Amino acid sequence: MQPLVNIQNLNLKYQQKQVLVDLNWTIQHGENWQLGGVSGSGKTSLAKIIARKQTAIGDVKINFNTASELPAEVLFVESWYQFKNVEGVANFYYQQRYTSQQAKNSLTVHAELVSYGKENNLHLDQVEPILEALNFSTFASSQLIELSSGEHKKLQLVKALWLKPQLLIIDQPYTGLDVASRKSLNILLDKAAAAGVQLILICNDTALPTSINRFAEIKDGKLVAVDSFERSSHTENRLKEIPDFLKQSPLYSSQNIVKMVDVNISYGEKQVLKNINWEVKAGEKWLLQGHNGSGKSTLLSLINGDHPQSYANELYLFGNKRGSGESIWDIKKRIGLISPEFHWYFDASATVWQSIASGFYDSVGLFQQLPYSKAAQVDELIEYFALTESKNELLNHLPLGKQRMVLLARTIIKNPELLILDEPCQGLDQQQTQHFNQLVDALCANGMTVIYVGHFESQLPKSLTHKLVLSQGEAIENTKAYTIQKELA
């Protein structure tokens, strides 16, 4: 039997940079691959070429099994999904997610699945077990715009596992998923593989489906087979000296950063947050955790000033009761924020330099000239994050991992009173993740207040000392004696 995929002498140049160089790859029937390696090496581009979503120079042959009952298709699940409203347009804005109950301008999860089923001649009863396995059944009536990044990922995974194509390529399959959902996904992927679906998972994760039996990475534009991507035991890279302006403690307007008293948030009959009582003091470092749909994003939207129901609750930000006369910009100037959703809606048509500089003004582009002192700080961060060669490139011309590094630089540029890091390392490779978390530890040592959302203790900064855990909208753990060392022991 001919191989499922046979790639010969594949070349790809992007923005004058040679990404793939005479790359060869043969995937035999029965092989399931993990494609890992550093951010920006060309993994996603290679996947798109195989799925016929991107062109390149070279020979790419797909030899489907004509005897198989599975669809003779290559399905590529992107690391990030751009949905559309009911008019077929994708022009959403960041805060719209929290006011969508009034707008009703995007499909529900159920309507999306019905449409997908009709398009691909699939039966709805076959999707129910997948929804249940990923704990996604309760989201049937939710609009697409209401979903978090992890919930959007689940929806794309549900559709892919429902279709069961002969070749399924998933870019960053575990991004945004909680621990239980990752385990459930691996079981579902193993079942799909047993049914004849062949897998290519683009990631550096080590907890994989048992069906993954081949491993490779792209080095210098060529595919290189490796034994696995088990985390190496090498010593940590030494952190570069952080810029001087970040060595200063933030100038706090109040020692009380956040205070919530019996906070409740509901959308119609659906209660998202239930009687939340939480205090964050200046200089504290909090870990925020919870399963997908537990209410983390909604909780953070109250602090960011993005949620309209904040006025209906007893909420204090930076010492002031919400609704006492402060504007949303009074709040945002004290906060540095990064989240998957913010990345989705950010204007990627700005340059790297402009994107970082916009953090001074909490805008999605740079609309004014910076004074010399602020421009110098931008240059310092660009050098610190090793972005000098890319500083004049458009943000959307960079790989997603580098885009995230740019937005992380934007988040800290003004040395804010509160740093909100909602899964900040999504899309980063292991070295980038390690480097960024070392930076967070250095900022914490200088007195910055941090709220950090992350699912895995092995991928967190070491300086976190407090922990809040949500489940079904309720706080089930609220402790000031948290240490990563204890969690890992």
Write phi, then psi, for 77 (nearest 5 degrees). Answer: -95, 110
The Cα–Cα gap between 205 and 34 comes to: 9
Asked whether the CA dihedral 328, 332, 334, 337 is positive or negative, the reply is positive
Average pLDDT estimate for 442-470? 89
What element of type H or E holds 20? strand 17-27
| pLDDT band for position 233 (cuts 50, 70, 90) | very low
The Cα–Cα gap between 155 and 29 comes to: 28
User: Domain-by-domain residue ranges, the chain?
Assistant: 5-225, 244-488
> Which tokens sit at 419?
């740093």
**Which amino acid would we find at residue 55?**
T
| pLDDT band for position 99 (cuts 50, 70, 90) | low
Q: What is the mean pLDDT of the chain?
A: 87
Residues contacting 282, CB < 8 A, separation 6+:
252, 254, 255, 256, 257, 417, 447, 449
Tens of pLDDT along 289-341?
998 889 998 899 899 887 888 888 999 999 999 888 778 888 889 999 998 87
Residue with tokens 């002969």: 166
Write phi, then psi, for 341 (nearest 5 degrees). Answer: -65, -40
Assess contact for 242 and 231: CB atoms under 8 A: no
Average pLDDT estimate for 13-39? 92
For residue 357, what pLDDT is reported?
Answer: 93
HSE-CB of 478 using CA atoms within 13 angstroms: 11
CATH H-level, domain 5-225: superfamily: P-loop containing nucleotide triphosphate hydrolases (3.40.50.300)
HSE-CB of 35 using CA atoms within 13 angstroms: 25
> Greater confidence, 229 or 216?
216
Tens of pLDDT along 33-46?
999 988 889 999 99
Which string of b and e fits 211-225 if b means at least 16 CB within 10 Å? bbebbbbbeebebee
| pLDDT band for position 489 (cuts 50, 70, 90) | very low
Q: How far is CA 61 from the centre of its chain?
A: 32
CATH of segment(s) 244-488: 3.40.50.300
The Cα–Cα gap between 370 and 380 comes to: 14
What number of other Cβ atoms are within 10 A of residue 401's Cβ?
Answer: 22
Percent of the chain residues past pLDDT 70, beyond the cut: 90
pTM equals 0.85
The Cα–Cα gap between 135 and 207 comes to: 19
Instruction: Say if residue 232's pLDDT is above 50.
Output: no
